[in-house]
């Protein structure tokens, strides 16, 4: 248990998903948390029901995956439960434990609720979702988009709004507090959100806010501005991307197995170098989280140790060192995998820089462009994955993004040098 207690101390106070594993590495339980540290610690700080006590008796290791927000943690938890089918997660074997979300766009004033089956009634259905998750999704959606909570169909006109309106959780269409056009704009944003089009959902809110401001309805504009900020905070988070899509999880799972990594490489950082005959030597870092680019964490580097001497190996060593030894080590989260554009020479230079930074356990690989072979330090033979491998295709996409980013930076530097 001491090793588990040590691991508890390293858990971040951030939203994410935790995975309880047995002595063989089998996932016993998957849970989500607003704070990983507080949630996991709660298992060891108070008496538990019998089922949880049995689970803890088999627990030998704890893994976790950070998420951008509580909403992302919900989505990721659902994907991982479906993927691993943990024995101790509360989930029945039939479809009844995976309900739909039903949005009644066939009504004048649509509402959102849980449904056990799809009917041909003109409503929109989303999912399936795990039972416990679907209720939390409904609650989160209604905090962002305060549509009606009442169950009556059709909606009846009232003289006074209900309590939900008074606490800001409903726009009270029953007493005419919101026009049907504005209400349907909220419904449109909900559809975008549930389809995973987070930016489009935010854009709909922003458009409604601007329209209200243009019509001098400043109270409604301020209200929409606050909802927009809540949506932005919830979906984007501060430094992390949203939960990975299912096909990204397949690629990440393959990479973990093929590269023999201890954990799923959710955060991958990739480096590339660019120069022309040794002039304007630059490097770049791109970051992917859950298979998606995390552009807020991209970085550019002017290589300082080389002057008009083309040496991609030395340049790579300098850039990697500056990422993991300097101030960036504190500002950015550490990755689960470092990807280098190049062969064994560049990989060894990167490994040397990681060792100097005290990160000897951080996995690093290189992807050579011509053959698309994967190189690892200390191994003379590369790993060769099939061309249709999801893991290889994800690495190629990340490597190509690093190449695009560094080339763009090099061109700007070269243009400045030419034109002052």
Residue-by-residue pLDDT tens, the chain, 420 positions: 457 777 888 899 888 999 999 888 899 899 999 899 999 988 887 666 556 767 787 888 999 998 877 777 887 887 888 888 888 775 433 344 567 889 999 999 999 888 888 888 889 988 766 545 566 667 667 777 788 888 888 888 888 888 878 777 788 899 998 888 888 888 888 887 777 666 677 777 777 777 777 777 777 677 777 767 666 654 443 333 344 554 576 788 889 899 999 888 888 999 998 876 656 788 999 998 778 788 878 999 988 877 667 788 999 999 999 999 878 887 788 889 999 999 999 999 999 999 999 999 999 999 987 789 999 998 878 999 999 898 999 999 999 999 999 898 877 766 565 555
Q: How far apart, in whole angstroms, are the C-alpha atoms of residue 30 and residue 21?
A: 9
Extents of the domains making up the chain: 2-83, 95-236, 246-419
25, 27, 224, 378, 391 from 351: Cα distances, Å: 27, 31, 49, 10, 22
- Please tell me the CATH code under which domain 246-419 is placed: 3.30.420.340
State the Cα–Cα distance between residues 351 and 348, nearest whole angstrom.
5
pLDDT digits (tens, 9 = 90+) for 315-360: 999 999 999 987 888 778 888 999 999 999 999 999 999 999 999 9
pLDDT tens digits, one per residue of 189-219 = 888 777 766 667 777 777 777 777 777 777 7
Residues with Cβ within 8 Å of 103's Cβ and at least 6 positions away in sequence, in order, are 110, 111, 112, 123, 124, 125, 126, 187, 190, 191, 194
In degrees rounded to 5, what are phi and psi of residue 353? -65, -40
Backbone angles phi, psi at 80, to 5 degrees: -70, -35
Taking the C-alpha atoms of residue 417 and residue 411, their distance in angstroms, rounded to an integer, is 10
**E-assigned strands of 75-213?**
100-103, 112-115, 124-126
Q: Which CATH superfamily is domain 2-83 in?
A: GIY-YIG endonuclease (3.40.1440.10)
Say if strands 16-21 and 61-66 run parallel, antiparallel, or are unpaired.
Answer: antiparallel
Cα separation of 102 and 195, whole Å?
13
């Amino acid at each position: 248990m001491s090793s588990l207690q040590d691991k508890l101390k390293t858990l971040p106070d951030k939203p994410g998903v935790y995975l309880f594993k047995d002595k063989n590495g089998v996932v016993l339980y998957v849970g989500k948390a607003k704070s990983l540290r507080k949630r996991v610690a709660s298992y060891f700080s108070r008496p538990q029901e019998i089922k949880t006590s049995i689970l803890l008796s088999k627990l030998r290791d704890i893994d976790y995956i950070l998420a951008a927000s509580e909403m992302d943690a919900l989505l990721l938890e659902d994907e991982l439960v479906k993927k691993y089918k943990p024995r101790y997660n509360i989930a029945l074997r039939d479809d009844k434990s995976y309900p739909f979300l039903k949005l009644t766009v066939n009504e004048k004033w649509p509402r959102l609720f849980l449904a056990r089956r799809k009917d041909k009634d003109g409503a929109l259905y989303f999912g399936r979702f795990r039972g416990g998750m679907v209720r939390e999704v409904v609650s989160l959606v209604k905090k962002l988009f305060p549509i009606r909570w009442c169950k009556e169909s059709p909606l009846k006109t009232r003289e006074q709004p209900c309590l939900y309106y008074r606490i800001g959780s409903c726009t009270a269409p029953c007493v005419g507090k919101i026009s049907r056009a504005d209400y349907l704009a909220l419904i449109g944003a909900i559809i975008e959100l549930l389809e995973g089009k987070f930016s489009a959902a935010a854009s709909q809110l922003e458009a409604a806010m601007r329209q209200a401001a243009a019509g001098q309805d400043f109270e409604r504009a301020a209200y929409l501005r606050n909802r927009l900020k809540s949506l932005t905070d919830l979906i984007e988070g501060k430094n992390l991307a949203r939960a990975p899509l299912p096909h990204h999880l397949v690629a990440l799972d393959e990479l973990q197995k093929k590269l023999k990594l201890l954990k799923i490489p959710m955060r991958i950082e990739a480096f590339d170098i660019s120069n022309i005959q040794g002039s304007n030597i630059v490097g770049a870092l791109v970051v992917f989280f859950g298979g998606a680019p995390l552009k807020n964490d991209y970085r550019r580097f002017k290589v300082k140790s080389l002057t008009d001497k083309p040496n991609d190996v030395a340049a790579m060593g300098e850039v990697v060192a500056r990422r993991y030894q300097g101030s960036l080590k504190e500002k950015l989260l550490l990755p689960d995998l470092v990807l280098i554009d190049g062969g064994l020479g560049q990989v060894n230079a990167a490994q040397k820089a990681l060792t100097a930074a005290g990160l000897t356990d951080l996995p690093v690989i290189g992807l050579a462009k011509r053959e698309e072979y994967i190189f690892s330090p200390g191994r003379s033979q590369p790993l060769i994955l099939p061309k249709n491998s999801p893991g290889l295709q994800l690495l190629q996409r990340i490597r190509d993004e690093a190449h695009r980013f560094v080339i763009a930076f090099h061109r700007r530097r070269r243009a400045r040098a030419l034109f002052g």
